[in-house]
């Protein structure tokens, strides 16, 4: 394959409402998008990095610099056989920076799928026509407000609810939630808000009949996660700790988790995600697809990935209107009556990118061509 042109575009897209996790609150997303052209087709990718380095060391600014200075020049200077081989090209161009790499790599997967006239899901090896959808709810000061929102989203048909938690916003909140919703499929996500010294406290969450406890400790605390998992009946799920197939294999070998959250935009793209998926499948560890407040472009990539067989739990693949008054793709993603999202069957990501709307959101743009 040969890439002729790459366009980088930064947009601002305001959330329907602020979204708060243990590390901070987000009101709007500054999103870096990539458009890759070649072989008579165009592919789209989205960078999931935030503006600030609180969730990850990568930011929109660092991703843009790495893309412009290293990754894009490498992509335009070389040819490659397929999207599945493109990740190796990017690995040679720069060390680390998986979010920046994923934005470009995933755009190439979309490009190849469109060029072949097949859906991205099919190109990745997915077979599902729909994927189970869950909803993720940020931290709320008022518990009654949180309970109202849980009831509303549950009534809409979402198949599970995920609550963000943090020290001081955990046990008491869960007591109230379970009192109101004793049978709700429920999980919690700490985003590494606790330390291993708080293991006994985190272990108290085992009493609430949770589907899983996601990422209680820091990414590199695999031994602490293993100690916690040995104490719990509830599965521990790792997210930030899963930085590569190698770290996933280590986590499984140590017994640090019993489920894995795969975020293609965080682990370097689809090639790494497929390797993690297959590794977990061989180990009998179910996976699910997390979200990073993506626009419809990133959501389309996530839905395609979640169509693979070992994605056995509802993901954070909520409908477009959960986050945005207006999404950047048409049709927008909608929750079906059975609590699923349809997997687009058209070529590539299977949805049309609203270029006119993107233009109204644009705050920066740059274009690069083969020399």
Contact in structure between 238 and 221 (CB atoms under 8 Å): no
From the candidates 35, 101, 162, 263, give the one annotated as an active-site residue: 263
The dihedral formed by the CA atoms of 94, 59, 313 and 278, expressed in degrees to the nearest 10: 0
Tally of CA atoms within 13 A in the half-sphere of 139 that contains its CB: 20
* Rg of the chain, C-alpha, whole Å: 20
Distance (Å, whole) CA 110 – CA 106: 6
DSSP 324: B
Q: Single out the residue of 303, 306, 267, 312 nearest to residue 285, CA to CA.
A: 312
Q: Provide the CA 293 distance to its chain's centre, in angstroms.
A: 8
Known catalytic residue at 35: no
Distance (Å, whole) CA 70 – CA 282: 35
- H or E element: which one contains 104? helix 98-116
The pairs formed by 201-209 with CB atoms below 8 angstroms and a separation of 24 or more are 201/167, 201/170, 201/171, 202/228, 203/228, 203/231, 203/232, 204/171, 205/170, 205/171, 205/174, 205/234, 206/231, 206/232, 206/233, 206/234, 208/174, 208/175, 208/177, 208/178, 209/178
From the candidates 128, 162, 164, 359, give the one annotated as an active-site residue: 164
DSSP 59: B
Cβ density class 327-340: b for 16+ within 10 Å, e for less = bbbeebbebeeebb
Distance (Å, whole) CA 244 – CA 329: 30
Beta bridge partners of 47: 32
Find out whether the peptide bond into 331 is cis, omega within 30 degrees of 0. yes
Q: Single out the residue of 49, 63, 111, 68 nearest to residue 86, CA to CA.
A: 111
Known catalytic residue at 101: no
Q: What are the catalytic residues?
A: 164, 263
């Amino acid at each position: 394959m040969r890439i002729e042109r790459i366009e980088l575009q930064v947009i601002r897209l305001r959330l329907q409402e602020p979204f708060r996790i243990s590390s901070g609150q987000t009101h709007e997303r500054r999103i870096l998008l990539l458009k890759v052209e070649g072989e008579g087709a165009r592919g789209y990718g989205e960078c999931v990095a935030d503006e600030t380095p609180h969730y990850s060391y990568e930011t929109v600014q660092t991703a843009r610099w790495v893309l412009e200075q290293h990754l894009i020049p490498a992509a335009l200077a070389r040819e490659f056989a397929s999207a599945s081989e493109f990740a190796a090209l990017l690995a040679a161009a720069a060390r680390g920076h998986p979010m920046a790499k994923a934005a470009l790599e995933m755009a190439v997967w979309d490009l190849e799928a469109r060029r072949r006239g097949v859906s991205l899901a099919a190109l990745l090896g997915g077979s599902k026509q729909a994927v189970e959808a869950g909803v993720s709810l940020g931290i709320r000061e008022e518990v009654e407000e949180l309970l109202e929102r849980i009831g509303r989203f549950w009534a809409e048909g979402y198949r599970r609810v995920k609550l963000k938690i943090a020290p001081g916003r955990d046990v008491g909140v869960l007591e109230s939630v379970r009192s109101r919703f004793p049978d709700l499929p429920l999980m919690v996500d700490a985003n590494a808000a606790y330390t291993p010294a708080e293991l006994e406290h985190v272990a108290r969450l085992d009493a609430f009949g949770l589907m899983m406890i996601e990422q209680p400790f820091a990414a590199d605390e695999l031994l602490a996660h293993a100690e916690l998992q040995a104490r719990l009946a509830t599965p521990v799920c790792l997210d930030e700790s899963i930085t590569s197939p190698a770290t996933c294999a280590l986590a499984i070998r140590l017994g640090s988790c019993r489920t894995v959250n795969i975020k293609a935009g965080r682990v370097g793209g689809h090639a790494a995600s497929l390797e993690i998926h297959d590794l977990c499948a061989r180990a009998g560890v179910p996976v699910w697809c997390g979200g990073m407040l993506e626009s419809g472009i990133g959501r389309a990539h996530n839905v395609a990935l979640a169509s693979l067989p070992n994605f056995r739990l509802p993901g954070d693949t909520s409908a477009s209107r959960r986050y945005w008054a207006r999404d950047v793709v048409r049709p927008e993603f909608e929750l079906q009556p059975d609590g699923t999202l349809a997997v687009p069957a058209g070529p590539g990501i299977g949805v049309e990118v609203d270029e006119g709307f993107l233009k109204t959101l644009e705050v920066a743009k740059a274009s690069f061509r083969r020399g």
